């Protein structure tokens, strides 16, 4: 990272895991858990400032991540199911920590690769005023990056405003980064998806 830019991560971990039937973020993923693999990929990709936004499972995740250097933030409005409230909580924290951009990662997407993290961070360094979104075969995915100049717009957004609304509103400010991997759009919502995709222990 260059001296004038610090990219911090907001990891969404406040979901209710209703379709999985249990807290999917602490399920095994190789030698780690799902959430630990996400954090590992971010760190290997060059992101060392990480905020994990939690909800109903705050205590479980706090215990699981107690030995790590990530910062946990509890989203008091997690029960409404909106990722926007988690984003607001995460960005408010990154703002206090003097980050200049936020890379958004899904806590239930352990498939993301360090190389993808590096690619979007490098694009942000080259074009720091743009929203950076990875794209695979014309489909956008995660993780993507929002510069600090958009944070007031996000923090002041109403409850009905979604992240999709944010991208639509600012579509001319997006720079897409083409990647060669479908991992950016991978889902891990059901027991069947987990069993199909989990790596060997």
Cα separation values, 50 from 12, 54, 177, Å = 11, 13, 22
What total number of domains does the chain contain? Answer: 1
Burial code of 91-125, b = ≥16 C-beta within 10 A, e = fewer?
bebbbeeebbbbbbbbbbbbbbeeebbebbbebbb
**Ramachandran area for residue 58 (φ above 0: left; ψ -120 to 50: alpha; else beta):** alpha
Question: According to the model, what pLDDT value does residue 3 have?
Answer: 59
Residue 60, in any domain of the structure: yes
Instruction: Give residue-wise pLDDT tens across range 151-195.
Output: 999 999 987 899 999 999 999 999 999 999 999 999 898 999 999
- Residues 168 and 46: their CA atoms lie apart, in Å, by 28
Q: Where are the beta strands (DSSP E) in 46-199?
A: 49-54, 71-74, 101-106, 131-136, 139-140, 144-147, 174-178
pTM for the full predicted model = 0.94
Which residue from 138, 186, 148, 172 is spatially nearest to 37, judged by alpha carbons? 186
Structure token pair of residue 53: 């936004």
Residue 184, in any domain of the structure: yes
Report residue 1's pLDDT band, with 50, 70 and 90 as the boundaries. very low
Residue 150, in any domain of the structure: yes
The range of the structural domain enclosing residue 148 comes to 7-195
Residue 200, in any domain of the structure: no
**Domain CATH number, residue 121:** 3.90.550.10
Instruction: Give residue-wise pLDDT tens across range 106-159.
Output: 999 999 999 999 999 999 999 999 999 999 999 999 999 999 999 999 999 987
DSSP 113-128: -HHHHHHHHHHHHHST
């Amino acid at each position: 990272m260059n001296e004038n830019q610090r990219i911090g991560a907001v990891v969404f971990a406040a979901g209710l895991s209703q379709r999985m039937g249990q807290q999917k973020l602490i399920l095994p993923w190789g030698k780690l858990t799902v959430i630990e693999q996400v954090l590992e990929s971010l760190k290997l990709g060059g992101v060392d400032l990480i905020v994990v936004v939690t909800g109903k499972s705050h205590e479980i995740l706090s215990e699981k991540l107690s030995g790590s250097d990530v910062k946990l933030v509890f989203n008091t409005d997690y029960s409404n199911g909106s990722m926007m409230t988690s984003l607001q909580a995460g960005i408010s924290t990154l703002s206090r920590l003097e980050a200049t951009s936020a890379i958004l990662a899904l806590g239930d997407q352990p498939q993301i690769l360090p190389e993808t993290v590096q690619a979007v961070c490098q694009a942000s360094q080259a074009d720091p005023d743009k929203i950076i979104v990875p794209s695979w075969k014309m489909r956008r995915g995660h993780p993507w990056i929002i510069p600090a100049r958009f944070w007031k717009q996000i923090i002041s957004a109403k409850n009905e405003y979604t992240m999709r609304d944010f991208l639509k509103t600012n579509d001319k400010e997006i720079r897409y980064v083409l990647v060669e991997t479908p991992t950016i759009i991978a889902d891990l919502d059901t027991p069947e998806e987990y069993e199909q995709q989990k790596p060997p222990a």
